[in-house]
Structure 1
Amino acid sequence: MTRVLFFALLTLVACRQAPHAVTVVYAESAEDFPNPERGFYRPTNVFASHYEALSEDVLKSYRAPSKTPKMAYSVVSTLVYRDFVLDSFRDQPLNADFLHRVSADFNTARQAGVKLIPRFTYTLDTKKGSCPDGAICPPYGDASKTIVLAHIAQLKPVLQEHADVIAFVQMGFIGIWGENYYTDHFGDASNNNPQKKLTDANWADRIDVLKALLDALPPDIMVQVRTPQTKQRFIYGIHAPVTAAPLTYDEAFTQTDKARIGFHNDCFLASADDYGTYDDYGNSSTPHHSENTTLRKYFADDSRHVVVGGETCDDTFSPQNDCGPAGHAEQEMSAMHYTYLNMAYNNDVNNDWVSGGCMERIKKNLGYRLVLKTGVFPSEVSHTDSMHITLTLENVGYASPVNARPVELILRNTEDKTTHTLRFDVDLRKWYSGKITLAEKFAMSAIPAGAYELLLSLPDSHRALSGRPEYSIRLANQNTWEEKTGFNNLNGQVTVH
């Protein structure tokens, strides 16, 4: 009896000394607001032959809602697509002046608080004629493999220097618009070529270009290719079947080439196969044919772990490319994990999402949208103890954040406003659509006694941008975002003693 009473007394004392857990329930916000590396992008083209630099003021204005005359909707943007058209360098090296201008554009983007999606191309022009495709006839006007590889080598120092403001890179370089299709030098799989397919040599040349571009970039930057088969043939070889395995959870975000290759679909829901996006383009021993079902499955599975973006291009595939119930635009974006789309093309398609009633959801759900649900943390903790904190969130967007960034708990002193940063041991790139639990135990030994506000920070991973609020992730909640600091206020306090 004495032993029972003794242990009961110990339990009672422990309960009285244990800090009280506080639970905060957060309200979701319906607001559409800018967040880094996601959403509708602003397209810009610049020609080497008559270079027009980016404007810092214009880039800054993109964070506020705006639209073009052809748009029935407005958007906020943190992404700028930059198509560098190398029209005056198709047969010669890039010069120092051009490289300086490219570097200046990256500096302007940094000052403005946006990130770029670069693509390098040689021509945007099409020529009509008597060829089978009629509206697009050879010669197409792109550059040879030798020139392309030399240009990538010249661009490498610039891309490395400005990696902090590069969100993702589109492969480009090959063919009209850099879409790797109508090309003079890398195999023409269009109707203009009697064989209508790519040979083993064509695939080998394309693989060399993609490899060079991957090697020119830091290993944390993804490169997007135009078709899923391009990735399959790069990873598994030029005879790889369309049944080649997609990226797995364990392989994701490991900085391998397989983990770094995403997709840009420049004809989203334009036809049953998105204008050949899901074709098998053959090789020297196999023909070009449709593999729509198999490659769509591969795309959906692989894209869970890599960046996907692009644009609409043709409204004739209606009502399939409309809002539900007649169309399945939202379902397609979710299944294929879209992070971004072009806000300017094709608005014959995009405007239908306004009249159909799904545009506001699309604007908010492209990429990630992180909603804080509850927070559980102590009201007080001993300097010699550890603090347990549990946050529950939900990603209601179509994709996870695809670029690495720290997840930090900020303790801000209520009196002198000094801050202390504690880092969660978590990879937010695996915060896929759905429920998320963020739980950690933090030692308090380095935290001085005092009362502290609790905040969550998701800053950019690059040192030059980590203190910039424009590059921090904002949670989709009411009364949590601090615009001046880039912190998400958890609306709770802890006293350290």
Structure 2
Amino acid sequence: MKKPLLLLLILFQAILSGQTVNYTPSTDIITNPERGLQKYSITASDYATIDGANNFSVTTLNNWKTSADKVTVVYRYFLLDNFLDEDISTTYLNNIQTDFDNVRTAGLKIIVRFSYSNEVGTEAQQPTKSQILTHISQLSAILNNNKDVIFSLQAGFIGTWGEWYYTNSTEFGTDGNISATQWANRKDIVDAMLAATPIEIPIQVRYAGIKTTMYGNTQLTEQSAYQNTANARVGFYNDAFLNNYGDQGTYNTDECTNPVGNTQYNYLSNETKYLPMTGETNGLNPCDNGFRTTGANAIYEMGLTNWTTLNRDYHQDFWNQLNTNEYNEILKNLGYRFVLNSSSITQSGSDIDLTLNITNIGFARPFKERNAYLVLKNTTTDDITTYLINSDIRTWESTITINQVFNIGLTGTFQLYLWLPDINTNLSSNSDYSVQFANSGLWDATTGYNNLLQTVTLNTLGVKDFTLNNFSIFPNPTSDFITIQFKNSSKEKVKIYNMIGQLVKETTVLNNKKLDVSDLVNGIYIIRLADKKSITHKFIKQ
């Protein structure tokens, strides 16, 4: 009788194994998508009349990306001054498409703003509301067709520089004097932008009060964010970051009162947990001996208000007064910066129980949806198999732990990787759009994978033979209940997982008692004993 027991113990050791790998953080400045320094560009006058005039150069875009600034986001200011009284020309629309094509070729993304005036004057700073609405309708198709490379659409169209302040307009109000009717007209423009663009493209407004006036003071939460609603889609850009008068009207204060901690500042700080915060400095703050525009305070406030990108081309007085450490700190921490601390693997037969510990040390969370995958690469055939990780990277803040069981169903030896590609299928295979973790020795620039430095050997037969003698379930398939019979226990804690490794039910079951599974959607499930990770069965809910 000893030989079967010895064989059982050997088999148990062979099919149940585990290991933990700790990773080394990197201090490198990383070229990661949808974050970092942005570069400025504006269309020229012949953009409206000559095909190919003043388009982005792919070479220039690539040079920005490979420079010390590691640029992955460009800002494009589309000046529509030729169309104050007419529709946007076909030539202009074609040139917009060429710009989007070139940005995609270079592996970058683009912040878009449309404006009709680039300097303050006494003349009209924008067309009539009806003409603007026509222009937004014209632009809808091109914005939808290029949603994969559009970082955000800023609510330009009104006022000098599209910033909604100097307008010389009875329809929209001007210089901060805006009636209820004029606010309604302004809201019509943002509503039209929301309707003309998909949920993937957030809309950004210039001042905190714009969003609260038009859509109320209700703050976003984890439950209300990322929905197709105005509150969930309207974020902010700040083109006077750190300057006086509350960043030139971003927040309501007098000239030299620091806005940090006031109601509007706190409101914006909450909203930008879920939406992009971008913009630029526009000079050194004359108050408090320039304290707000020092590098140390800039870094502090970027963390408070979740900055994702910052214009590298303006204002040079700000950039010139930074020391090297401050400059590098900004480059490294704009947006997200994920550090992989450790991974732990417990495998039993063809199952993998994976635990990841990750820290986001950046100023912000990612604001765009992006899937995370566990990748298995067969070390003999190089075949790739991917499994979706049940975690939304937009919630990765501070330090998080992810635990998931994957029912692999493969036999062989596999190298494990972590892969965070772009959500758009036409960009997902381009490693320029994949996320690199801030660790040493993990990144594969060719594939866009992060090597977990974990290798597993899987055996689909071992668990099946081993587990049959420990508990049984019936009926299988089932539509409502399963009865579980344990061989050596009166009760056990069990866990049920779906086929992508998500835990869907956890409970304690008495021997020979029914377990209600009627609330599960139809499909195949894995049931395992919680304290014995190798003890599993499959069942079908139908």
- TM exceeds 0.5? yes
Match of 1:401 among 361, 366, 378: 366
Whole-angstrom distance in 2 between the partners of 1:10 and 1:330: 61
Match of 1:124 among 98, 102, 118: 118
CA offset digits 1:189-236 (Å, max 9, x no partner): 42xxxxx52110111011110011111111121111101111112223
The one-letter amino acid paired with 1:35 is N
Tell me the equivalent position of 2:525: none
Tell me the equivalent position of 1:229: 209
Tell me the equivalent position of 1:493: 455
The one-letter amino acid paired with 2:86 is Q
Tell me the equivalent position of 1:454: 416
Offset at 1:13?
6.8
How do 1:200-349 residues align onto structure 2 when only pairs under 5 Å count?
Answer: 200-236=180-216, 244-279=217-252, 293-317=262-286, 318-324=290-296, 328-349=297-318
SS of match in other structure, 2:76: strand
The one-letter amino acid paired with 1:366 is L
Residues 1:367 and 2:361 aligned together: no
Match of 2:145 among 152, 161, 173: 161
How do 1:80-91 residues align onto structure 2 when only pairs under 5 Å count?
Answer: 80-91=74-85
Calculate percent identity across the aligned residue pairs: 33
SS of match in other structure, 1:103: helix
SS of match in other structure, 2:329: helix
Whole-angstrom distance in 2 between the partners of 1:90 and 1:245: 36
Whole-angstrom distance in 2 between the partners of 1:11 and 1:274: 71
Tell me the equivalent position of 2:517: none
SS of match in other structure, 1:389: strand
CA change 1:266–1:11 in 2 (3 A) is: farther
CA contact (8 A) 2:120 2:166 kept: no
SS of match in other structure, 1:36: coil
Whole-angstrom distance in 2 between the partners of 1:141 and 1:231: 22
SS of match in other structure, 2:450: strand
CA contact (8 A) 1:308 1:340 kept: yes
Offset at 1:112?
1.0
Offset at 1:358?
1.3
CA offset digits 1:57-102 (Å, max 9, x no partner): 111111112xxxxxxxx41101010110001011100111111111
Whole-angstrom distance in 2 between the partners of 1:367 and 1:424: 22
Offset at 1:16?
2.8
Tell me the equivalent position of 1:113: 107
SS of match in other structure, 1:205: helix
CA change 1:467–1:91 in 2 (3 A) is: same
Offset at 1:12?
6.1
CA change 1:213–1:429 in 2 (3 A) is: same
CA contact (8 A) 1:187 1:197 kept: no
The one-letter amino acid paired with 2:396 is W
CA offset digits 1:396-418 (Å, max 9, x no partner): 00111110011000000112211
Whole-angstrom distance in 2 between the partners of 1:45 and 1:105: 12
The one-letter amino acid paired with 1:61 is N
Offset at 1:291?
11
In structure 2, runs of 5+ residues without a counterpart are 48-52, 254-258, 460-542
CA contact (8 A) 1:53 1:101 kept: yes
SS of match in other structure, 1:264: strand
How do 1:23-102 residues align onto structure 2 when only pairs under 5 Å count?
Answer: 23-47=20-44, 49-50=46-47, 51-65=53-67, 74-102=68-96
SS of match in other structure, 2:88: coil
CA change 1:417–1:393 in 2 (3 A) is: same
The one-letter amino acid paired with 1:472 is S
CA offset digits 1:9-39 (Å, max 9, x no partner): 9996786355221100000010002100000
My pick for the range that moved more, 402-411 or 247-256, is 247-256
CA contact (8 A) 1:265 1:309 kept: yes
My pick for the range that moved more, 85-94 or 246-255, is 246-255
Residues 1:183 and 2:167 aligned together: yes
Tell me the equivalent position of 2:436: 474
In structure 1, runs of 5+ residues without a counterpart are 66-73, 128-137, 191-195, 237-243, 281-289
My pick for the range that moved more, 465-474 or 434-443, is 434-443
CA offset digits 1:393-450 (Å, max 9, x no partner): 1000011111001100000011221100000111111112x102122111112x3x11
Tell me the equivalent position of 1:376: 344
CA change 1:125–1:24 in 2 (3 A) is: same
Whole-angstrom distance in 1 between the partners of 2:9 and 2:229: 54
CA contact (8 A) 1:456 1:490 kept: yes
Structure number with greater Rg is 2
The one-letter amino acid paired with 2:134 is A
Pick the structure with more strand per residue. 2
The one-letter amino acid paired with 2:444 is E
Whole-angstrom distance in 2 between the partners of 1:255 and 1:451: 43
Q: TM-score, normalised by structure 2?
A: 0.78
